[in-house]
């Protein structure tokens, strides 16, 4: 038994999901003729109360498309210093859209409307890049799966409106936030111009993300996805996994959150651990004491078939997910409790 807690992307499709995939009706999506892709897109557009949605192979491509739709080369995007679009998309914002990022020193991946106001370059001061987009991430990945305060997001929307800025949500793990905070997709649909969501994280699909947005901005999404190499054919088999996950795998995220909190409690009692960050969803970030040997810690877990990931700067990450069973959870907690370093 391998207990893989490196990420919620390590899950494999369940039997039910595989069956749904096998049954899918498909067609050529480049001609918009795949009925299952069309159904998935329509389902998500309705869920968020938006007119338009588009299926993407990855969250990165969906975010990169959104950035391209909102900006012109030379523009500046406001985001947190820990944002996925800045850290983990290969420099794509500058490569694909020719934009720079103005990084906000946020708290656990989140910031305030005031900080956004301060980060906007005056539009008539032509020496500075033109600010055109604000991007937020919910849950914030490097923020430890933290959830935004919806009231703060509303204030940022107002700042965007008064300053003529686009507002994009990287909602790779928005599902976790909706479950943890008892919010609805429609709340978010009302607030943002564009939203990307992942089906391949907590929802357990092998692949797939969707970009949801307003009619006007999404008009060009098809062209941008094509340019980025993301035109797909009979991908209804993959969209079927997405529909199955929306039906079956959202509510159960609460179990992942509960397990993450229980792991956090055990970790905070261990003598060699300095700090466990606040746990709101399925991500646990913790720090070892300086005297603790990180490589030795990881090795002693690896010897027991338990995998976590290092984030650098002495921080480690655990992510709970669909394939992390109750049995694995008991085994992991009891292993931690008796771990000698």
Contact of 321 with 258, CB cutoff 8 Å = no
Eight-state DSSP code of residue 72: -
In the complex with ligand PLP, the residue whose CB is nearer, 58 or 146, is 58
Shortest separation between residue 333's beta carbon and ligand PLP, angstroms? 25
In the complex with ligand PLP, the residue whose CB is nearer, 138 or 297, is 138
In the complex with ligand PLP, the residue whose CB is nearer, 174 or 288, is 174
Shortest separation between residue 272's beta carbon and ligand PLP, angstroms? 28
Shortest separation between residue 338's beta carbon and ligand PLP, angstroms? 32
Shortest separation between residue 335's beta carbon and ligand PLP, angstroms? 27
Cis check for the bond before 213: say yes or no (omega within 30 of 0).
no
- Calculate the alpha carbon distances from 301 to 80, 203, 275, 277, 340 in Å: 33, 26, 19, 20, 11
Structure tokens that stand for 135 in this block: 């991007």
Eight-state DSSP code of residue 35: H
Shortest separation between residue 196's beta carbon and ligand PLP, angstroms? 7
In the complex with ligand PLP, the residue whose CB is nearer, 83 or 120, is 83
Structure tokens that stand for 307 in this block: 């995998």
Find the residue with minimal CB distance to ligand PLP.
Answer: 59
In the complex with ligand PLP, the residue whose CB is nearer, 7 or 335, is 7
In the complex with ligand PLP, the residue whose CB is nearer, 41 or 137, is 137
Spatial neighbors of 252 by CB under 8 A, at least 6 apart, are 322
Eight-state DSSP code of residue 202: T
Shortest separation between residue 109's beta carbon and ligand PLP, angstroms? 9
- The C-alpha atoms of residue 163 and residue 29 are separated, in whole angstroms, by 37
* Site residues (vs ligand PLP, CB under 6 A): 58-60, 63, 84, 137, 141, 170, 172, 198, 200-201, 209
Helices (H), 195-310: 215-218, 221-227, 236-248, 253-268, 294-302
Helices (H), 231-293: 236-248, 253-268
Of residues 201, 183, 203, the one with CA closest to residue 192:
183
């Amino acid at each position: 038994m391998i207990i893989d807690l490196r990420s919620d992307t390590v899950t494999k499709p369940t039997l039910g999901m595989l069956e749904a995939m096998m049954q899918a009706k498909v067609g050529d999506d480049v001609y918009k003729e795949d009925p299952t892709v069309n159904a998935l897109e329509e389902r998500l557009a309705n869920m968020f109360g938006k007119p338009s949605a588009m299926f993407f192979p990855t969250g990165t491509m969906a975010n990169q498309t959104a950035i391209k739709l909102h900006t012109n080369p030379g523009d500046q995007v406001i985001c947190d210093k820990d944002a996925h679009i800045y850290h983990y998309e290969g420099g794509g914002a500058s490569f694909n859209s020719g934009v720079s990022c103005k990084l906000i020193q946020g708290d656990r991946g989140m910031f305030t409307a005031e900080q956004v106001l301060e980060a906007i370059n005056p539009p008539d001061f032509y020496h500075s890049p033109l600010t055109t987009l604000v991007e937020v991430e919910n849950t914030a990945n490097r923020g430890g799966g933290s959830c935004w305060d919806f009231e703060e997001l509303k204030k940022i929307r107002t700042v965007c409106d008064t300053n003529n800025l686009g507002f994009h949500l990287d909602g790779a793990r928005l599902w976790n936030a909706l479950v943890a905070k008892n919010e609805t997709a429609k709340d978010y649909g009302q607030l943002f111009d564009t939203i990307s969501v992942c089906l391949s994280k907590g929802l357990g699909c092998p692949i797939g993300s969707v970009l949801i947005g307003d009619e006007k901005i999404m008009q060009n999404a098809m062209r941008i996805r094509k340019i980025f190499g993301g035109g797909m054919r009979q991908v209804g088999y993959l969209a079927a996994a997405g529909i199955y996950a929306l039906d079956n795998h959202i509510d159960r995220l609460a179990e992942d959150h509960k397990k993450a909190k229980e792991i956090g409690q055990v970790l905070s009692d261990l003598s060699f651990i300095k700090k466990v960050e606040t746990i709101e969803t399925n991500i646990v970030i913790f720090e070892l004491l300086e005297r603790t040997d990180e490589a030795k810690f990881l090795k002693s877990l690896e010897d027991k078939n338990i995998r976590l990931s290092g984030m650098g700067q002495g921080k480690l990450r655990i992510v709970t997910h669909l394939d992390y069973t109750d049995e694995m959870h008991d085994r992991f907690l009891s292993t931690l409790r008796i771990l000698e370093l």
